[in-house]
Structures are given as structure tokens and as C-alpha cells.
Amino acid sequence: MTLVRGTFLDTPVAGELRTLDGVVQVEDGVVTARGPASDFPAPDVDLRGGVVLPGLVDTHVHYPQVRAIGGLGMPLLDWLDRCALPEECELAAPDYAAAVASEFVDGLVRAGTTTALVFGSHFATAVDALFTEAARVGLRVTSGLVVSDLLLPADLHTSPARSFEEGLALAGRWHGVGRSRYAVTPRFSLSCSPALLEASADLLGSLDDALFTSHVNENPAEVAAVADLHGGYVDSYDRYGLLGPASVLAHDVHPTDAELAVLAARGTAVAHCPTSNAALGSGLFPLRRHADAGVRVALGSDVGAGTGFSLLKEGLQAYFAQQLLGPEGVPLTPADLLHLATVAGADALGLADQVGHLSVGMRFDAVWLRPPSGSTLDVVLRSAAGPDDALAKVFALGGPADVAGVWVDGTRIRS
């Protein structure tokens, strides 16, 4: 049993910030009690100074794109051609893939991310390298082989039969093993033939509790190209039975109302990736339309189109995007941003009963933000008017440099 002293902020109820300046008791990785310090003996771990948040949940991030971060000035399809895809070809080399896997997992942990739905690589050996590194470090990862058979460099193409066989073998090695799970991952319907999407559906159908993930409605030129190839974008997945409550589609910046109704009916979640949407000029995310339609939304960093691993930055950019939408935007509060970065992500990934907040019965996945002494965040936190104000300052100024500790299942995976 471990007693952890600190200022804990979380959002078990959407829109409501909960604060505990006290102690959380952790047994076998699970929170078993919480309350004022006076209710407990002397703590084992003292995290006073700064705040403790639930571990952050990234619902869309590309492992092979760490070294592609920062390719600014291009819309999606040009950026893929010039920045992302050449780098992704490099992961054919196992040593290169192992090095990138290490950089990637380290990048997530340094940012305070404890759970992630990760777009893998087109190469099965590279996907193995990711799962191996995530398991070594202790990260809670869902990932899979990315598959395509159109449009991309030929090195990144597969066939329907091979995609099924390699996916099944990877899932056999990693799905449900420790904290790892498998996600069936066609890259986007623009790079997939009907036969490949059908093979993806076959694979999904042959795995218990696997996730499905892909991209949707990110950029107007991409949406038009998908319409030529497949008809509707959401329908290009839905017609193969790929959309359900365990499906997560990234972006959805340009949905039709009919598509939102389909996503809501299927229970499919959307990964909102605000820095990527801004960097690629994809557009301002219509959060209100998603909320009104009843579509679940969480946050994704979308590295490497996104500009870093920190979900604090994604939260801030999500806030900016809604502000820029004026009356059509949702005025997000600090509690909303934390909820998007934690509970909503856990819910999107089917982990809402395990992680996302620090209530009794939940796993102790947590990040301790303690800004360096004298840093601007340190200075402004001292003058915070209360917990909501402190959280706003954390989203405005916080980042990986402020992460002083990260825990998964009660084990500290970073000091």
C-alpha cells in the first residue's frame, strides 16, 4: 500500500473540476481510499508543490512520425508526400524502427501521457518494436499494423491477404497482453481498396475486443478524393461494419450532418487533433455539431502533423479553435479541457472504468506537474485564484518540462 500526498485535480463528472488537497491511497495499482491528510498516517510519497492530474490519454498519435514533427506550411496531402511518408518508409529497417519506438514512447511519457491509441507502422517488425518498447516502459498502448494498398509509396503497400495474416499474428502476440491491445488500422479510405477494407473488417471480426481506428473528413481536397473513390467518407468504413463503440476516427473537421448521425448511432468516437488541424490548415473543428449530434469526442496529438506530444498544448489549441469559431464555438472551461484530455479519452478507448480520473476503484495512472522553480508557470501558479484558475494556467503554460513524475498502475515510470 502507498499513500500519496498532493493536490489532485480531476473531472469524474464532465464540466466539474474536483480538487483534493490530501491523500490518495494506492494498493496493487488501484486507488482504494482518498481524503484529507488528517485521515491518513504519514504519506509515503509527497507530491506537494504543483498539481497531480490523471494520466493523460492521447487518442490519436503516429509512432513513425516523431522525426517528422515540425513540417509546417503544407496542406494534408502535400505534407504526407513530402514529410510523413518518406519518414515512414525508413521504418522498414528494424534498427531504425527500434530507435524511433524508443524516442516515441519516451516522448509520450515525458508529456505525461499514460494511455495512447497509436497509429502503428506499415511494417510488422516496426509494430512489434513499438509494442515491445511500450511494454518495457509500462505505457498503456493500443496499436496495430497500418495498412494501405493505394496512393502511397509502393514500399508502404500490402495486399488484403497479407494485411489479414500480419495483423492476426501481431494481435496474437500483443492483444490483451499486459497493458497492450490491438487496433485494426487502415490508414484512410483514400489509400485503401474495397478489398483491403473488407480484409480489415474480417480481421476486426476475428479478434475479441479489438479497436478500429482510421482518419476521416480531415481536409477538403482529401474529402473530395475519397468521394470520387468510395462515395461518402464515413460510409466508406460503415459499409464494411468497421464503425462501432470501439472505433475511433481522427479529425472529422468537415462532416455532413448525416455522417454525424451515423457516428452517433454507431457509438464511434472522434479524436480531435487541434494542433494538427491548425498546422495543416485543415480547419476549425465543429465541436458543437458533434456534441449536438451526440458524438463522443476526445483529444489526439496527431504527432507528427501535430506539433508535439503534450495534451496540455492540444487542450489549449482546442480552446483556441472554439474561440475562433465565435458564436458557433463551444466556450471550453479548464475543467472541459482536462475532461477531454483524460476521461473523454479513456471513454473513447473503452477504458472509462479503469483510467481517466482518480476515484476509488480506478487505476492510479497519474502525472505530477511541478514547474521548475522560477519558471513562468511556477510564478503564475502561486497567484492562482483557485483550482479552476490554476488549471487554466497549467493548460496555458504547461508542457513536458513541467512533468516531474508519471505513474501507471501505481508504478512510477518516470521521475
Rg, the chain, Cα only: 20
Residues 53-72 that bind ligand GUN (CB under 6 A): 62
Measured from the CB of residue 369, what is the shortest distance to ligand GUN in angstroms?
A: 27
Q: At what angle do helices 311-324 and 334-341 cross, to 10 degrees?
A: 130
In this complex, which beta carbon is closest to ligand GUN, that of residue 308 or of residue 356? 308
Residue labelled with grid coordinates 509494442:
131
Q: How far is CA 80 from CA 33, 56, 93, 187, 399, in A?
A: 48, 27, 20, 12, 27
Report the nearest approach of ligand GUN to the CB of residue 62 (Å): 5
Pick from 88, 166, 302, 365: which binds Zn ion (CB under 5 A)? 302
Nearer to ligand GUN, 252 or 409 (CB): 252
Contact map string, positions 382 to 411, toward ligand GUN, x by CB under 6 A = ------------------------------
Q: How far is CA 14 from CA 95, 272, 415, in A?
A: 43, 17, 30
Taking residues 304 to 323 in sequence order and writing x for each that binds ligand GUN by CB under 6 A, - otherwise, the string is -x------------------
Q: Which stretch binds ligand GUN (CB under 6 A): 76-84, 196-204, 239-247, 375-383?
A: 76-84
Residue 114 backbone dihedrals phi, psi, to 5 degrees? -115, -20
Nearer to ligand GUN, 221 or 324 (CB): 221
Residue type, 70: G
Q: Does 248 bind ligand GUN (CB under 6 A)?
A: no
Which of the ranges 9-17, 249-257, 281-289, 381-389 carries the binding residues for Zn ion, by CB under 5 A?
Answer: 249-257
128 binds Zn ion (CB under 5 A): no
> Which of residues 8, 96, 104, 188 is near ligand GUN by CB under 6 A?
188
Determine if 363 is a binding residue for ligand GUN (CB under 6 A). no
State the nearest-atom distance from the C-beta of 71 to ligand GUN, in Å. Answer: 11
Query: Which region, judged by CB under 5 A, interacts with Zn ion, from 30-38, 201-209, 301-309, 388-396?
Result: 301-309
Distances (CA, A) of 235 to 30, 107, 120, 289, 299: 40, 35, 24, 19, 23
Q: Which is nearer to Zn ion, 180 or 275 (CB)?
A: 275
- Indicate the pairing of strand 181-186 with strand 146-147: parallel
Site for ligand GUN in 275-304 (CB under 6 A): 276, 302
Distance between CA atoms of residues 264 and 245, nearest Å? 9
- Say how many C-beta atoms besides its own lie within 10 A of residue 385's C-beta: 9
Is 84 a binding residue for ligand GUN by CB under 6 A? The answer is yes
CB of 220 to ligand GUN, least distance (A): 13
In the list ligand GUN, Zn ion, none, the entry touching 188 (Cβ below 5 to 8 angstroms by class) is ligand GUN
Query: Residue 11 or residue 163: which is nearer to ligand GUN going by CB?
Result: 163
Q: Quick one: which of 206, 216, 223 has its CA closest to 171?
A: 206
Complex with Zn ion: residue 251 or 393, whichever CB lies closer: 251
Binding residues for ligand GUN, rule CB under 6 A, total 11
Type of residue numbered 385: A
Are 410 and 362 in contact by the 8 Å Cβ rule? The answer is no
Indicate the angle between helix axes 194-206 and 160-174, nearest 10 degrees.
30
Helix (H, G, I), strand (E, B), or coil: what is residue 7? strand
The answer to whether 192 contacts ligand GUN (rule: CB under 6 A) is: no
Cβ–Cβ < 8 Å for 194, 231: no
Beta strands in 11-112 (DSSP E): 18-27, 30-35, 45-46, 51-54, 56-62
Residues that bind ligand GUN (CB under 6 A): 62, 76, 80, 84, 187-188, 215, 218, 276, 302, 305
Residues that bind Zn ion (CB under 5 A): 250, 302
